[in-house]
Every structure is written in C-alpha cells, then in structure tokens.
A and B are shown apart, each in its own frame.
Chain A
Amino acid sequence: MATIELEAASVAAPGADGDTVILEPTTLRLTEQRIGLIGANGSGKSTLVRLVNGLVTPTSGRVLVDGLDVARDGAAVRRRVGFCFTDPAAQLVMPTCVEDVELSLRRSVRDAGERHRQALAVLDRFGLGAQATLSVHSLSGGQRQLLALAGVLATDPSILVADEPTTLLDLANTRRVTETLFTLPQQLVVVTHDLDLARRCDRVLVVEDARVRFDGPAEAAVADYLSTVPL
C-alpha cells in the first residue's frame, strides 16, 4: 500500500477579518487499504482529502505521498493519486464516454488507436461498454459516477480519493458504486455520509470543527460520530 503522511499540515483561507482556519495542524500516517472520513458538512473532510491530491496545498506543514511532497512534486503525486468528485457532471469533460476516458489516457498512450482500444477496455471493465459512444449527459447518475471512476482509474493510480461518491445516487446506484470501490486493488480514501460504507473501512477518521476528533477502527469511529449528532 502507498503511504500518505500529513506532517502538521494546516489549511487557512484569508479573509477580511483575518484567516479562517479550514483545517487545524494535522499529523497522520495513512497506510491502510480502506480509509474512511466521516463528519458533519463543513467540518474539513473535503479539504483534508484534497490535500492528498494537491488540489489544496497546505498553508503550513507538509503532505507526502510515498515520500513525494504534494506542494513540490504535484504532477508526480497526481499520477499516483486519482480523485473522484461528488458530482460526476463536473468531472466529465468530454462529449462521449469513450472520449472522456481517452482524455485520461492522453498523457500515457500517445497512439490514438491504442488509446481508443484501451479506453473501450476500461469501459467494459466498469460495465459501460454499451454506452461508449453515448453522450455523457445521457447517462444515469450511477453510470456517470462509474464513468468518472473509470476515467480516474484508467491511468491505474495507486491511491483513489473519493469525495462523497455516493451522495447524489439512489440506493441501487449507491450499492453499485460502493461495491466497485471496495473491489478495487487501489488504496481508497473515501469521504462519506454513508455510515454503512464507513463501517467497511479499515480505519475511519471523524472530522469535526477543522480537526480530526477520532481516528481508529470503523465501528468505534462511527459510534464516536453518532455520539456527537444531536437527536
């Protein structure tokens, strides 16, 4: 498994009345295969996982992925870390399914024919072979999320970060996407409000008020989180 390290990493946003702390200085070493993050909206979960891919750079401290500094070696880190967003519509940037996967492969496969063949194979793997030439806008929510995953995983990253990947999905699609995520060989870092999904993780962080409030086994983390939620 890859190693993700946060060394007193903090994030703050400048404002008219001084800096707003989005993530307090946080030190973590993540080596488990399935890592979950749970917590209230606005608690800092998304900011924490965005540090891993370099979408957000720390205001202070360091974030390392397999020893690579996210702020200094951003391109190399992004080759290792795939990122899946809550809303796949924002992530799908090409008109058709196969073209979107091909876009991901542009950096690694120069030959257009080979790129097309590999993209079709990736779509087949995610059960989207029949939709290859359809508009990305014609897909169901679940299919779009699977396509977004396919686009990210086409380049075979060693870590997948997924920020609330099932929040916009119905029950059937939530199950489908969850099963896909949990059968991947990649290290998975997933932000979720789905406590059943969180319970399947090897390690769960509870994030509250810009800091990690609890860090431990899934059941204990979920119990801790539930204890903070008012009835």
Chain B
Amino acid sequence: MNPSYLFGVYQPGTSPLHRAWIGAKVGGLAAFSLSVVLVRSVEAAFVFLAIAVLAAAVARIDLGLLLRSLRPALVAAVIFAGIQWLLYGPAKATETLVDLVALALAAIVVSSTSPVNAMLDSFIRWITPLRHVGVDPERVALTIGLAIQALPGTVALAVETRDAARARGVRHPRAFLTPFVIRVVARAQETGDALHARGIGDD
C-alpha cells in the first residue's frame, strides 16, 4: 500500500469502528465537522483533535501510515493558518491549524474503516425518498463516492506534476499549477468517459 493514498482507502480490520454501523460513522463525522466549525476557541480545537486522535487509536490505524497520509492536509492547514496569522494573529492561526488537522484525521478514520461501496449503499437508502422530487439516488451516491476516490488520485497527479517541474529545474509555482490544473481536468474527462463506457449512469 502506498501510504500517500490512505485518504479514501478502506483498510480492512476488526476494530469497533470497523464494525460500527456506517450511518453512525457518517452521521458522527457530520456532527463532528459541524461542531468544529461552530465552536470557536483554541481550547475546543485541541479537544476536537484529541477526539479525532482517540478515534484513530480505536480504529487501530497504523500511526506511520496515518501521519504520512495526513501530510497533504497538513500542508494545506499550514498555508491557511499562515494567512490567518497575518490577518487575525497567532491564536486564530493555531485554532485554524488544529481544527483542519482534526477534521482531516476524522475523515481519514471514517474512510479507512468504511468500504466506499457500503457507504454508497447507505447514501442510496437515505436519499431514496427524494426520488419523488426528481433526485436520482444512485447518481448522487456515485458522485459522493467519486469525490472520496478523487482525493488520492488528485494527490498522485500533484506529486507527478511537481516531480516533472523539479526534473526540468523549474521552481515557479505556475510551472506546477498550470499543468496540474490541465491534468486534473483531463483526468476528469477521462473518468467521465470511463464511467460512460461502463454504462454507469445509464439506468
């Protein structure tokens, strides 16, 4: 297993979180995320981080894998925290940094203890009543599943594009961002073609 791609990848196991009902996990993640956003204090941020770390420990996710898969989220969190520092000072920056890490950690715990297809089945069950108002549950669930899966694929594209820029000795951010955006769009089109070819969305 390439550790960079733990995000969104189910890790088989027998922990209580692996055995927990998916509805409880997804609902818990939603409630957790909402709380992180709504409760604004540095102390609360550390409490949320502690809860996420505890969940990861209960799920028995390998620590090394966890830290490496957190790295992309950590980089983004540091950038956002830096902006917050400039605008609002160190306290706000710390809160932002810890909140984002807690959210990423909680998301990793849920995605690594829940098979995506099982999550899709649950989503479909929950939103099936909306079929009466024109919502296609299969399509909505697939969109959510693809969003989860897109994370590791996009990270892989980012790493490849960065390496290509380095290999050419180019350091300017545009040398990374322009080909990265083009590749992400191209991959999205290819994925659309692949789904179409597999007849997914036909029914």
Contacts and interface: CB of A to CB of B under 8 A. Distances in A.
Contacts of B117: 94, 99, 102-103, 106, 112, 115-116
Contacts of A96: 9-10, 115-116
B197 A94 contact: no
Q: How large is the interface on B (under 10, 10 to 19, 20 to 34, 35 or more residues)?
A: 35 or more
Interface in A56-108: 74-75, 78-79, 82-83, 85, 87, 89-91, 93-96, 99, 102-104, 106-107
Nearest to B195: A93
Interface stretch (B27-35, B128-136, B170-178, B185-193): B185-193
B191 to A, nearest CB: 6
A83 B10 contact: no
Nearest to B202: A75
Contacts of A89: 153, 156, 187
Contacts of B182: none
A94 B8 CA distance: 9
B53 interface: no
Nearest to A148: B194
Q: How large is the interface on A (under 10, 10 to 19, 20 to 34, 35 or more residues)?
A: 35 or more
B146 interface: yes
A155 B124 CA distance: 21
Contacts of B194: 83, 85, 90-91, 93
Interface of A: 53-55, 74-75, 78-79, 82-83, 85, 87, 89-91, 93-96, 99, 102-104, 106-107, 112, 115-116, 133-135, 137-138, 151-152, 155
17 contacts: A53-B197, A74-B202, A83-B197, A89-B153, A89-B156, A91-B190, A91-B191, A93-B145, A93-B194, A99-B10, A99-B115, A102-B117, A103-B117, A103-B198, A112-B121, A135-B2, A135-B152
Given A103-B145, A138-B1, A138-B5, 18 more contacts: A55-B197, A83-B198, A91-B191, A93-B145, A94-B117, A95-B116, A99-B115, A106-B200, A107-B203, A112-B121, A133-B12, A135-B1, A135-B5, A135-B6, A135-B9, A135-B152, A137-B5, A138-B2
